[in-house]
Amino acid sequence: MTKHYEVIVIGAGSMGMAAGYYLAEQGIKTLMIDAFDPPHASGSHSGDTRLIRHACGEGYDYVPLAMRAQALWDDLQTKTSERIFLKTGVVTFGPSDSLFVQTAINGGLEYDLNLDTLSADEINARWPGIAVPDGQIGCYEPDAGVLFSENAIRTFRRLALERGAELKVNSPVMNIDAFADSVKVETNTESFTADKLIISGGAWNKKILDDLDLKLRIQPSRQTIAWFDSDDALYRADDFPGFFADVPTGVYYGFPSIDGSGLKVGRYDNGEEIDPEYYNQEFGALDKDEGDLRGFLGEYMKEANGSLDVGRTCMFTNTPDENFIIDKHPAHDHIAIAAGFSGHGYKFSSAVGEILGELVTKGEASQDISLFKATRPSLQPENKDEVYFKARGK
């Protein structure tokens, strides 16, 4: 006999595991299904750490979502001995005409965030490990910092299971049938039914949504991150912040040396479009994997440009306008979707998980998610020749 649930969550990674927890906390009979065993190296959450910024250069609409996410991360920290959040502060910098930097500054002012606007000289004086050239500006959020992404997923997983949720790991979904008021989900070994469905399959969302006749312009890309041997006197987490740099050579982000791990840096743009099933996961397979990161460090953080300690690849799943998709399926009101987080979504995943739970239990979200509609024009295949301007101004 096929087992029935109130809600099935496909993809128990960043958003899906959070959704599973918030549903289970309400006593809702929930099944989470993942093709791997989260946390794992095949999701966008891999790589140990993620930044959380509250003054979001991606747009003012993200600020309330970031603040709600921070409150939920703080609450999660009270439920575990694992480290979830480290308040290092985050500095954002770039040329004075950077739309991303200006949006972060103006958003901070709009929402009265704890934020300092800084000149290049002020940035360089405050953190001698950074060398920002004349003509660039920045802002600093002392209350922002670093999320430990894999710790958070483990904690959400433990709490969800303690509250009665079930989890099927190493169980790729092979088929979904959507009926008027229910769904049937088949994995490689079993099948299940549910009243409601949440789809949060990361880089695999496009295939899942295509099979449900929702064809959207979302594209996975291959990105790189690496840890470099660095001078801990300059870059240790006690004294050095996380950073986001929208500079002429590209868009970069990074983390201080945490527990002597070395400075971590990644590139936000310039990824290659991939199929998540087949992409080359070997760091160093392309010259730019290390070269791009060293180019940035050589210009802006010379004392962190030491030997390569660890290099990894990861995946972003991008929308044309780099805004998320958080919505109900246009043809199936009982199916909620979380997709297209475009490299800046992890910090919001606690709040997105809460929203997904609300969409399938209440039919609407307590947060304003109008920006994230699945039906917006930029996502539609027929608009593929239009030009969309990204929030970071590139």
pLDDT of 42 reads 72
**What percent of the chain stands above pLDDT 70?**
96
- Residue 390 pLDDT class (50, 70, 90 cuts): very low
Identify the helix (H) or strand (E) that includes residue 210. Answer: helix 205-211
Instruction: For the chain, report the end-to-end CA distance as a whole number of angstroms.
Output: 54
pLDDT one-digit tens code per residue, 19-58: 999 999 999 999 999 999 998 777 665 568 999 999 999 9
pTM for the full model? 0.95
DSSP conformation class of 393:
-
Instruction: Kindly list the distances between the CA atom of residue 206 and the CA atoms of 3, 225, 233, 378, in Å, as whole numbers in the listed order.
Output: 27, 24, 45, 15
DSSP 28-67: --EEEE-SS-SS-TTSTT-SSEEEE-SS-TT-TTHHHHHH
- Given a cut of 60, is residue 4 above it in pLDDT? yes
So what's the pLDDT on residue 84? 98
At 388 the pLDDT is 38
Band of pLDDT at residue 328, cut at 50, 70 and 90: very high
Average pLDDT, the chain: 94
Q: What is the distance, to the nearest Å, from the Cα of residue 108 to the centroid of all Cα atoms in its chain?
A: 20
Averaged pLDDT, 231-250 = 97
Cα 174 to Cα 33: distance, rounded to the nearest angstrom: 12
Q: Write out pLDDT tens, residues 154-209.
A: 999 999 999 999 999 999 999 999 999 999 999 999 999 999 999 999 999 999 99
CATH number of 3-45+150-217+321-383: 3.50.50.60
Class of the 90-142+220-318 domain? alpha beta
Q: How far apart are CA 363 and CA 205, in angstroms?
A: 21
What ranges do the domains of the chain cover? 3-45+150-217+321-383, 90-142+220-318
pLDDT band at 384 (very low <50, low <70, confident <90, very high): low
pLDDT band at 324 (very low <50, low <70, confident <90, very high): very high
Cα separation, 283 vs 268, in Å, equals 16
What does the pLDDT look like over 92-122, one tens digit per residue? Answer: 999 999 999 999 999 999 999 999 999 999 9
- 187 CB neighbour count, 10 Å cutoff: 18
Average pLDDT over residues 302-322: 95
How confident is residue 1, by pLDDT bands cut at 50, 70 and 90?
Answer: confident
**Cα angle value 10/391/57 (rounded, 5°):** 90
